[in-house]
Structure 1
């Protein structure tokens, strides 16, 4: 029997590997381990030895700790959701850069929430003649191309997540306002 602190956070990969090897794994909440460490040593300092000991003490003394089970479909779903969240953050960064570059290229005509179609139209209408303008336009075009690629990846992942959620038998998407991302 293994005890892992924070199996939904930092300890997730260790817990999943142990489960894949057929081991029994208990989830020890971080607060419980911290409390055990504080009571055991008299201070809250974290060292590997103190951490291991406090997690073990918490696992032995606590009742009703969650016993983890291997669920490959859920783990795959979680990985896809994590990847989509990364892409969403990347999309926001690219869109912000693109918006800044377009504002420099077309002073006084900046839009707040811009779509790729609008950005393409703005960029198509800008034909700078000077070196600085041409140099500004090139990174804007590159950012726009990156934005299109990221949005395509997000759309593909969203479709994949929708299929996985439907295949799992979940009815969450039947609720108003709950799409495949929230359901996943």
Structure 2
């Protein structure tokens, strides 16, 4: 079997082919255009039909390439950047270049045969785009609110309703009336302009929330039934997972999400440490679910207490990580249930 590793970039893609023991067989660099992908496919055909493609998981860079490869019937796996970096560091070749990275990607995929496979999932891709857009709008709204509060501090501190309250339409109406009652000035006009910008961002975010709800509610009822999972969190999880069938087990999903602890012991006293790898966006979703469940679900608090009683020397952060690992299994099975519900009924 031949493994072809690809280091994707905006303008070019570099591919390196290795055999089953990791020996380099050839390399090519093509333009990131349809013509370049056809050239890449023709080049790969010289290694025979038994080949596997491995692409570095670059957000937004390799999407079109992977869709093209899958459309041609190729078997493609995603290689996390950290896994590629570890493979490169362990190689004899010194330095860093596109061919070196592509070779490390191929060898990483060869060494890790259970990496999640890429497949076409347009709904997950749409949800990922929408959630990314929503996060950007929320960030801009927060920055705009912070700018506005500095202006209010200079104009009239009494007009500031306080942190976290400028998302309300009623508060924005009151603030607009208060600003218009002040003497005309450049700072007042800038503050009114910022209020209008906050209104526009607020409406855009509300429209996105509605669009996400229309997509997610029929798609993931089991996931939404979990305490701490709302429409936005569910959309983020589905978009980042990009198909739960890619994972062979709940343990593989937990490792992908960075929720599986890493062993760090060499004697008779088992110990683990925090896993800083995996998909950090997905890990952040699990963390928010954990915090929400500890606040609103007695069963989660009871689970943490039982875990802590069995390990009296464990820290509070260790208990939190253990609960996150447990909830990774819950999320995995919920996604699997929703996925099976979407499959067409067999006769």
Is the TM-score greater than 0.5? yes
Give TM-score scaled by structure 1 length. Answer: 0.84
Q: Does structure 1 retain, via aligned residues, the 8 Å contact 2:220–2:234? A: no
Deviation of 1:20 after TM superposition, in Å, equals 2.0
Q: Does structure 1 retain, via aligned residues, the 8 Å contact 2:145–2:198? A: yes
Q: Does 1:162 align with 2:224?
A: no
1:13 counterpart SS class: coil
Q: Does structure 2 retain, via aligned residues, the 8 Å contact 1:3–1:27? A: yes
Identify the residue that residue 144 of structure 1 maps to in structure 2: 195
Bigger mean CA deviation after superposition, 79-88 or 28-37: 28-37
Deviation of 1:86 after TM superposition, in Å, equals 0.5
1:56 corresponds, among 89, 103, 106, to 106
Q: Does structure 2 retain, via aligned residues, the 8 Å contact 1:28–1:58? A: yes
By relative contact order (CA 8 Å, sep 6+), the higher-ranking structure is 1
Rate the CA distance shift 1:148–1:110 in 2: closer, same or farther, 3 A: closer
Deviation of 1:42 after TM superposition, in Å, equals 5.9
Bigger mean CA deviation after superposition, 166-175 or 95-104: 166-175
1:167 counterpart SS class: coil
Deviation of 1:99 after TM superposition, in Å, equals 1.2
Deviations 1:22-54, CA, capped at 9 Å, x for gaps:
2431112223222221121365x4321211111
2-structure distance, mates of 1:30, 1:151? 35
Give TM-score scaled by structure 2 length. Answer: 0.47
Identify the residue that residue 118 of structure 1 maps to in structure 2: 171
Number of residues paired by the alignment?
A: 176
Deviations 1:69-108, CA, capped at 9 Å, x for gaps:
1100010011101100001101100111111112211045
Deviations 1:138-162, CA, capped at 9 Å, x for gaps:
0111100010000000001001111
2:153 corresponds, among 98, 103, 123, to 103
> Which structure carries more strand by proportion?
2
2:188 counterpart SS class: helix
1:91 corresponds, among 134, 141, 146, to 141
Identify the residue that residue 319 of structure 2 maps to in structure 1: none
Please, what is the CA RMSD of the aligned residues?
A: 2.0
> Which structure carries more helix by proportion?
1
1-structure distance, mates of 2:82, 2:185? 56
2-structure distance, mates of 1:151, 1:67? 37
